[in-house]
Amino acid sequence: MKDKTATELINRDTLNIDLVGTEDMLIMLNNEDMKVAEAVRKCIPEITKAVDMIVRNFMHAGRLFYVGAGTSGRLGVLDASECPPTFSTPPDMIQGIIAGGDRALKEAIEGAEDSDKMALEDFEDYDICNNDTIVGISASGNAKYVCKFLEIAKIKKCKTIAITSNPAAKIKEFSDCFICVETGAEAISGSTRMKAGTAQKMVLNMLSTASMIKIGKTYHNLMIDLNPTNDKLKRRAVTIVAEICGCKERTAQNVLDLNGYKIKHAILFILYGLSFEEADKLLKEHNGVLRRIFEGQ
């Protein structure tokens, strides 16, 4: 028993989960879930370090890679895929890499988690350099694919971050920043898609969201760099422009319709009468940070 990680231990609070009624079963699961947010909170100092590391590399044209196997890999791919529509990031700026490739998103790929060879091949395929940040995700922290990927990244002098639920994780050896969210034994023993997976999702949301805020992708808490690819997001863009400019939504919509729903450009047109080209030049001079433009006016 001593050689088992915490996520593999038997949870004494849910021993009778197969005997109780449905409501009591769900209460047991919910009780376990409530432990996750507090466990993540305890890791905020390490998450802070990770965010600042990611932002520094972004400012030097670096990219962010999430690397994992199974559930951990799927969560990394999910967070990465949500950044382009939310923050208009280029597709290659934040990427998720899962052991076994895209097929592994839907089905288990035999041996992928334990393949050093696959990790080396994937590392080379993405042409990773020392300005990039690599985030290895593994509940146990011992997945060979993730360990090897981080090990290569360290050799290549990339900044490395590890997310795990095991204090004794092997990936700690290859990480510049070690984020260990101690979620303890799972409600269903070893099922790390549950509490450990929830913790990973929360940490990944914090890493990407905080990094985007720090490079100017929001103004206050408004998503000024979202990519309005559907009606819902277009309505949100109109609301954002109207809120920041203090104008009617009809005015905001008319400007956005004309400029292809470029939110920042619309704001600068309404507030300062800047043409699209003038706004574009000003945004480039201030690295796209709207607040810096406001402060300079």
The pLDDT tens digits of the residues spanning 13-51 come to 999 999 999 999 999 999 999 999 999 999 999 999 999
Same domain, residue pair 57 and 193: yes
Question: Does 240 share its domain with 210?
Answer: no
Q: Please tell me whether residues 160 and 250 are part of one structural domain.
A: no
Instruction: Please check whether residue 84 lies inside any domain of the structure.
Output: yes
Question: Percent helix, strand, coil in the chain (nearest 5)?
Answer: 55, 10, 35
Beta bridge partners of 98: 68
Domain contains 139: yes
DSSP at 222: B
Q: Which of 180, 214, 248 is the last residue of a domain?
A: 214
Is the pLDDT at 241 greater than 90, yes or no? yes
46 catalytic residue (yes or no): no
Instruction: Tell me what pLDDT residue 7 has.
Output: 85
Sequence-ordered list of residues with C-beta below 8 angstroms from that of 204, at least 6 positions apart, any chain? 66, 75, 76, 79, 135, 137, 163
Q: Decide if 281 is inside a domain.
A: yes
Q: Output the pLDDT for position 2.
A: 47
Q: What is the pLDDT of residues 74-127, one digit of tens each?
A: 999 999 999 999 999 999 999 999 999 999 999 888 788 889 999 999 999 999
Return d(Cα 133, Cα 289) in angstroms, integer: 22
> How far is CA 231 from its chain centroid?
25
On whether residue 185 sits in a domain, the answer given is: yes
**Within a domain: residue 272?**
yes
pTM for this model (two decimals)? 0.93
Do 99 and 141 share a structural domain? yes
Q: Which domain holds residue 253?
A: 231-296
Q: Which of 23, 32, 38, 82 is catalytic?
A: 82
Q: Report pLDDT digits (tens) over 184-195.
A: 999 999 999 999
Mean pLDDT of 265-279: 96
- Listed in sequence order, the residues at least 6 apart from 57 whose beta carbon sits closer than 8 Å to its beta carbon are 63, 64, 131, 132, 133, 159
- Same domain for 83 and 196? yes
Q: Are residues 105 and 157 in the same domain?
A: yes
Same domain, 24 and 148: yes
Q: Is residue 204 domain-shared with residue 247, that is, in the same domain?
A: no
| Mean of pLDDT values over 248-267 | 96
pLDDT in the model for residue 156: 95
Task: Out of 32, 113, 151, 186, pick the active-site residue.
Answer: 113
Q: Is residue 75 part of a domain?
A: yes
In terms of domains, do 141 and 272 share one?
A: no
Domain count along the chain? 2
The predicted pLDDT at position 110 comes to 75
- And the tokens for 150? 């981080």
Would you state the pLDDT for residue 86?
A: 94
Kindly state whether residue 222 falls inside one of the protein's structural domains. no
Is residue 223 in some structural domain? no
Query: Is residue 235 domain-shared with residue 106, that is, in the same domain?
Result: no
Give the CATH number of the domain where residue 264 resides: 1.10.8.1080
Residue 94: beta bridge partners?
A: 64
Say whether both 118 and 203 belong to one domain: yes
Q: Which residues neighbour 99 within 8 Å (Cβ) at sequence distance 6 or greater?
A: 68, 69, 70, 73, 109, 112, 113, 115, 118, 119, 122, 143, 145, 146
Q: List CB contacts of 188: < 8 A, sequence separation 6 or more.
A: 14, 17, 194
Alpha carbon distances (Å) from 72 to 69, 237, 287: 6, 32, 33
Q: What is the CATH number of the domain that holds 76?
A: 3.40.50.10490
Same domain, 198 and 239: no
Active-site residue, 82 included: yes
